[in-house]
Structure 1
Amino acid sequence: MPIKQSGKRLRVPWRGVADDKELPLTLPVYMAYCAVAGSLRPWNRLGTKSIITLVTSGDFYFPVFAEAARFFASQIWQAQMFHGNVMEWSDKNNFRHQAEALRDERAILFAPASYELQDDDRLLSDAVVQLGPRTSRHAEAALRRAGLPVSRESVEMLLTEPWSRLSRAFQDRRQPLQALHRLRSLPKPVVVSQPKPVQPLPPRGPTLSDMHGYGSLIEWGYDLAQDIADFKNGIIPWSDVENGVLISGPPGVGKTMFASALANSCSVPVIYGSASRWQEAGALDEHLKAMRASFTEAKEKAPSILFIDEIDVFGNRGEKDRNSAYMRSVITALLQLLDGFERREGVIVLGACNHPDLLDPAIKRAGRLDRHIGVPLPDAAARRRILVFHSGVTLCSADFELFDLATEGLTGADIERIVRDAKRAARRKSERLSSNHIVANLRPLTKLPEAYLRALAVHEAGHAVVSAEVGHSRVSAIKISRHKVEGEIRELGYVEYQPPAPQRRTRVFFENAIATFLGGIAAELEVYGSFTDGAGGADGADLNRATDLATALEGSLGMGYTLVAGAFEQSETSNLRLYLPELRREVHDILETQLARARSIIRAQRPALDAVADRLLEAGELAGDEVFEIIGHHRRSVVSLAKPLLRTAP
């Protein structure tokens, strides 16, 4: 039976290939080949199209690495599609390099230590990767491949001799043993130490005062900075300093930048770790060594902050799959490193993740990462401050309105990208960065027609009127958008509610909530005779929320026609309605009853609905107090409209 292959080569070339000795490479080129292949593991797939920049250190010699890179590229790119695009970034000829790379859609570019990569260079590259150094493993593999004995003296020579001397000694026409003897017979070059030029200190980077939109996390950071200062001054022991926190939020909100700002504000070093980076170290033993090494480094530099990114990758020990044994060992090791002050005194662990619910509960227990702080998407005010931080440009009020609309739902990283694009546009025109460049690089906006805005205002006013009449929750704000981001589906209006006061959560409480959810649909039906598709379909749509709440009421809370209750999982509600026709009918009856009730309220309070919609259409946004003042001024006295219909058992 034929064996199916993925088309992917061995991840590293020094672990034995059947025809390894037939590779047309000299000994130093083979060592460089190992370093290149190790750094380019993710792109080691046949036929891939990539432009990669390898950032080198001082231990680099372009002729050797260029030959190694060409051979690596020839193995994954078909020969007819590869024209030798292995080049070196320099202050000259970069335009030609870029043109050739774009022509073939494939290239390996080396950035010497003396060359500073520009933004345009990074944009051209699909990835910018640090080129790993030559190691003893590379030297040993090269010696074995050449049929030479592996000795400490030979390995040391291959690691310490300059690449240029290795290249001249090991030639295709010369036997490797002869080349090795020639190197040994010649004295090593004397390296004259040159005084290093004094480099200006790099900027410290942001501090907590530069961070915007992080909510209570900033307050926690200031408290930690004060505690560390008190600890350094001998005022408090380390046991009084909080030793860890778990922060979560969507990608791009700036969790890594917060770690840097926190370290700068606390005047302590930050050690960056990553669950996925530790795992890349290799097998289980190497994985655990890499993880322990980060904790050891943090302890040696204490007091310090150890930032663990993607900590949710560890998962949960309760998961059952083919990797469960491996991950249980990793999580157990992490718990041992986290547990107690004696193990990591002087080290604050800052864990960051996107999905905190996936994390093992033991990691979040007291003494480990027991404090959890969520980082929301930045609001309009925070987004404006983020813009000023990255650009130094303050927009006028009219531009700020467009900026708020175009950046709604964006993260700090998204806004930084907008500023970067605006700076590039200003450079291309030889102009100073201004608000015009910022606005020009925002997502395109489409102005909504007046009739559409009127329908939005009616819908949102319907929620407010029904909410006020049933007394479910007090409205804190109501808003509609006058523009729409092109090519994007998003809410164009919303009503914010204050948290309801503590009360008995009876069936009437939930029926009032359902009626409030259906208030927008009821208003559209009364005014226009129909409602739009935006009321349902999405998870957060009005009709979806009302349906899920009605399903819980009938299917799990024991408040329907039966006292039978069960655990409520929102993800399972659609299956419950699909496979239980009786439950589906009961949910339909609840929705129909509450929609009729909401429409009755709208009919009775039509003057209040129209007044709120008119004012909202004029202002675009209303505070809760103003909404209730308008409703109170136009409200008609009606008997028992807010009371839900009584139901009797069959």
Structure 2
Amino acid sequence: MTFKKSRSLPKRYHDPYGDEESNALSLPTHLAVIAMSRVIRLFLKKRSGFVVAFVLPPGGDFNAYQRAASFLLEGTLPLSLEEGYNYIVPVLDENDLEEGFPAFRQLKRIRRAIILVANKKLLADEIRLAADIVAELPSPSAGDHRIAARAMGFGNLKDEDASLLASQTPVRAAIAIRQGRPLDAALRRLRLYPNTGVSTNVPSGPALQELSGYGEAKAWGLELADDVEAWRAGKIGWNDIDRGVLLSGPPGSGKTSFASALARTCKANFVYASAAQWQSSGGGYLGDMLAAMKKSFDDAEAAKPCVLLIDELDSIGSRTEDAGRNSSYVRQVINGLLELLDGGRARDGVIVIGATNYPHLIDAALLRSGRLERHFEIGLPDEETRAGIFRFYLGDRLSDEEVQIVVSASEGWSGADIEKCVRQARRSARRQGREITLSDVDGALPPALTLPIAMQRLVAVHELGHAIVGVLLEADPLVSVSIKNTVREVAGVQAVGGARFQERMFARKTSTYFQGRIAVLLAGIAAEELMFGDFETGAAGHPHADLNQATELATMMEIKWGFGGSFAVELADTPERLSEFRSQRNGLRQAVDTMLKTQFERAKSLLEEHRSVLLDLHERLMKERVLSADDVRNALQDVASRGEIDCLDGLGGLRRA
């Protein structure tokens, strides 16, 4: 923190500014100056030295009081314990007390010092010994707001207006009252919007420590909370703190919940905005949208420290995509957002989180350093994470065994789905006048449907096709293969089986590697055709289906990685752009189709060679429902040991003798 040498001392305690520079202070800082100057006005008037300890009122903005202390000390000298300098000692927690004891002993050498104590519990004896005065500051009164309004150039407040401001938290009042806005307009907004979209207190709900899942995003958030606390204490500058991140994941994966929990963990305010909300402002006209964007950032700045969530960020568009007649609009919107994210605008105290279901649609400039500089993918929760989410919402009402029963029935669910399920279960129990039980939760689950045996057999063949060819080619290591015998009666695509592979982090991504991956993707329908004569529609029709993924990989091999007939490559990798290239570039669709058919026949040939293994494992999978990679590998090795096929060749493939 920097400090100022004596410039011109405050003239009167009820109007403690006396120059134009005071107009730049925020409302919370004005109120802090007023309260503190009442205590030290005589010291300031006599130009004498002093050490005073201020205990902040409940809910006081520590940063505002710190800025007010710097203003009152008035000077430009840097932070120092050298004789004759001004000094501020922040005491936010017990650690500050321990670290501040050497400073307390040296305060006798300081001309003027202010000790800021976050709450009365931290008022240690050493502080009382060092200070000439110890003062517990009251919450700002209506009279204080009248004084602050005059200092900010708003003139005299009416009694009812002053009382209205005193009923607000300082941060909420600061959002409405700022330089350049008429006072009447600010007061009208406070009366018109008693509950705005800005949370002027830390929002209620769980902190990050209480949330299950989130992986690297959670670890980052906990570290960020430590950094924000250090910033509050003046130990680090805002330049040492991450400015923003991008969160991506499917609907319901908990992006908004994460941002809200981050605000709680950082003891920060929370402002919600969305691109759709900005676009709807004023009918979507460019000027109105840019104004709505700026207002969200202004709200966050007034409420700092603050987490600003920008939801549906992808709907803004990207300057690299052809938006037709709207391209100029998109470009200016993104340029406006870039200016708000950095430009010449200070964002100290504001953490920006962008949320999207489609990260590939975000303009690359928004993701550069100093903007949304990190990207965390938040997927649907796994079994362990779902158990934690159920436990969070259920508390200790169900045993671990009972929780595991409902967890097993919730595969593919988001955190929002689980919260809805428990809410319905609580409603059912409440109507019957009792505590929640397993039957309530089970009753809130969608009805279970048993898959016909014929469908189970087909799914087992399909998934074993992936698993067997995956082990034979070893493009990526197999983890397990599984099938289900029941599904839930819900809308959308449900997995009824799966072959899980673990992608190698440092595998050589050659044309051979990608050909192997395509063969594994097509091995499911190859197994169906081998055993049943044809294959069904489940392998296509949605972004994560086998044929869709294989088609995209084959297209990128041709035009992105130089594995096709030309070294001239393109950067596009979104499904939409890849589809456009297949439609527009001569010969590309035919080249992709040839590659897919070649790898399909390769997979089918391998499975035909190992038909006996496929049949044996099929019988086991129908009984056991889950087989490990070792189960599949050992079955193939047993056949090899009987001399029916050779051992592993140089590429990891198994071949007939």
Please report the TM-score for the alignment, with normalisation by the length of structure 2: 0.60
Report what 2:75 is aligned to. Answer: none
Asked if structure 1 preserves the Cα contact closer than 8 Å seen for 2:308 and 2:351, the reply is: yes
Q: What is the match of residue 514 of structure 2? A: 510
The residue that corresponds to 1:331 in the other structure is 334
Give, in angstroms, the shift of residue 436 of structure 1. 0.7
* Residues 395 and 435 in structure 1, CA contact (< 8 A), matched pair in contact too: no
Residue type at the aligned position of 1:382 = T
- Within a 5 Å distance, the mapping from 1:77-92 to structure 2 comes to none
Partner SS state of residue 369, structure 1: coil
Structure 1 residues 361 and 632, CA, compared in 2 at 3 Å: closer, same or farther? same
Instruction: Go from structure 1 to structure 2 and tell me whether the alpha carbon gap of 1:415 and 1:608 turns closer, same or farther (over 3 Å shift).
Output: same
Offset at 1:398? 7.1
How do 1:255-266 and structure 2 match up within 5 A?
A: 255-266=255-266
The structure-2 alpha-carbon separation of the partners of 1:251 and 1:459, relative to structure 1 and needing over 3 Å to count, comes to closer
Tell me, yes or no, if structure 1 residue 442 matches structure 2 residue 445: yes
* Deviation readout 1:194-214 (Å, 9 max, x if unpaired): xxxxxxx99842100222232
> How big is the shift at 1:308?
2.5
Q: In structure 2, how many angstroms separate the alpha carbons of the residues matched to 1:558 and 1:295? A: 44
Equivalent position of 2:175 in the other structure: none
**Cα–Cα, structure 1 residues 224 and 617, in superposed 2: closer, same or farther, change >3 Å?**
same
What code does the residue aligned with 2:476 have? Answer: S
Question: In structure 2, what is the equivalent of residue 622 of structure 1?
Answer: 627
Which residue of structure 2 lines up, in the alignment, with residue 390 of structure 1?
393
Match of 1:271, SS?
Answer: strand
Alpha carbons 1:422, 1:441 under 8 Å: kept = yes
Q: Which residue of 1 aligns with 2:364?
A: 361
For each residue in 1:430-474, what CA deviation from the matched residue of structure 2 results, as whole angstroms up to 9, or x when unmatched? 332111111111112211234432332222122211121123221
Mapped partners of 2:488, 2:256: distance in 1: 29
Alpha-carbon distance in structure 1 between the residues aligned to 2:389 and 2:525: 37
Identity %: 39
Contact 1:403 1:439 in 2 (8 A): no
Sort the Cα spacing of 1:524 and 1:299 in 2 relative to 1 into closer, same or farther, 3 A: closer
Kindly indicate whether residue 621 of structure 2 is the aligned counterpart of residue 613 of structure 1: no
Deviation at 1:347, TM superposition (A): 1.7
1:341: how far off?
9.0
Give yes or no for contact 2:323–2:330 (8 Å, CA) kept in 1: no
Secondary structure of 2:623's partner?
helix
Q: Secondary structure at the match of 2:221?
A: helix
> How far apart are the structure 2 equivalents of 1:326 and 1:524?
50
Check whether the contact 1:600–1:641 (CA below 8 A) recurs between aligned residues: no
Could you tell me how far apart the structure 2 residues matched to 1:296 and 1:578 are? 46
2:313 maps to which of 307, 311, 319: 311
CA contact (8 A) 2:313 2:354 kept: yes
Alignment gaps of 5+ in structure 2 = 1-157, 162-200, 652-657
Counterpart in the other structure of 2:355: 352
Does the Cα contact within 8 Å between 1:303 and 1:347 map onto a contact in 2?
Answer: yes
Unmatched 5+ stretches in structure 1: 1-155, 160-200, 645-650
CA drift of 1:355 comes to 2.8
Which amino acid is 2:314 matched to? D
Cα deviation code 1:130-169 (max 9, x no counterpart): xxxxxxxxxxxxxxxxxxxxxxxxxx9xx9xxxxxxxxxx
Distance 2:599 2:239 in 1: 56
Deviations 1:213-269 (A, max 9, x none): 322110110010111122223332221111211222233222222222111111122
Mapping of 1:572-591 within 5 angstroms? Answer: 589-591=594-596
Q: Deviations over 1:65-112 (max 9, x none)?
A: xxxxxxxxxxxxxxxxxxxxxxxxxxxxxxxxxxxxxxxxxxxxxxxx
Q: 1:387, CA displacement in angstroms?
A: 2.0
CA contact (8 A) 2:339 2:345 kept: no
Identify the residue that residue 606 of structure 2 maps to in structure 1.
601
User: 2:227: which partner in 1?
Assistant: 227
- Is it true that 1:497 corresponds to 2:504 in the alignment? no
SS of the equivalent of 2:373 reads: coil
Instruction: Output the amino acid matched with 1:535.
Output: A
Matched ranges for 1:399-478 at <5 A: 400-401=404-405, 403-405=407-409, 407-478=410-481
User: Retained in 1: the 8 A contact 2:555–2:578?
Assistant: yes
Separation in 2 of the partners of 1:564 and 1:554? 9
**Contact 2:390 2:403 (C-alpha < 8 Å) held by counterparts:** no
Please tell me the residue identity of whatever aligns with 1:333. G
> In the alignment, which of 283, 293, 296 is matched to residue 294 of structure 1?
296
Indicate the SS of the match to 1:518. Answer: helix
Residues 642 and 397 of structure 1: is their aligned pair in 2 closer, same or farther, counting only changes over 3 Å? farther
Query: How much is the aligned-residue C-alpha RMSD, in angstroms?
Result: 3.6
Q: Is the 8 A contact 2:301 2:347 kept in 1?
A: yes
**Alignment partners' CA distance in 2, 1:590 and 1:238:** 53
* Pairing 1:184-263 to 2, within 5 Å after superposition: 204-263=204-263
Which deviates more, 530-539 or 209-218? 530-539
Q: Residue in 1 aligned with 2:528?
A: 524
Q: Is the Cα–Cα contact under 8 Å of residues 246 and 352 in structure 1 kept in the other structure?
A: yes
Q: Deviations over 1:535-570 (max 9, x none)?
A: 34444333444444445556776655x447553654
Q: Alignment length, in residue pairs?
A: 445
Distance change in 2, residues 1:338/1:545 (3 Å): closer
* Cα shift at 1:394: 3.4
Distance 1:633 1:402, change over 3 A: farther
Name 2:35's counterpart in structure 1.
none
Give, in angstroms, the shift of residue 580 of structure 1: 8.5
- Residue 397 of structure 1 deviates from its aligned partner by 4.4
Q: Quote the offset at 1:288 in angstroms.
A: 4.2
Q: Does structure 1 residue 268 correspond to structure 2 residue 273?
A: no
SS in 2 for 1:348: strand
Residue 370 of structure 1 pairs with residue 381 of structure 2: no
CA distance in structure 2 between the partners assigned to 1:416 and 1:206 by the alignment: 13
1:461 touches 1:613 (CA, 8 Å); kept in 2? yes
SS of the equivalent of 2:627 reads: strand
- Describe the shift of the 1:333–1:537 C-alpha distance in structure 2 as closer, same or farther (beyond 3 A): closer
The answer as to whether partners of 2:412 and 2:494 remain within 8 angstroms in 1 is: no
* 1:14-53 matches, cutoff 5 A: none
Moved more, 505-514 or 550-559: 550-559
SS of 1:456's partner is helix
Partner of residue 482, structure 1: 485
CA distance in 1, matches of 2:362, 2:203: 35
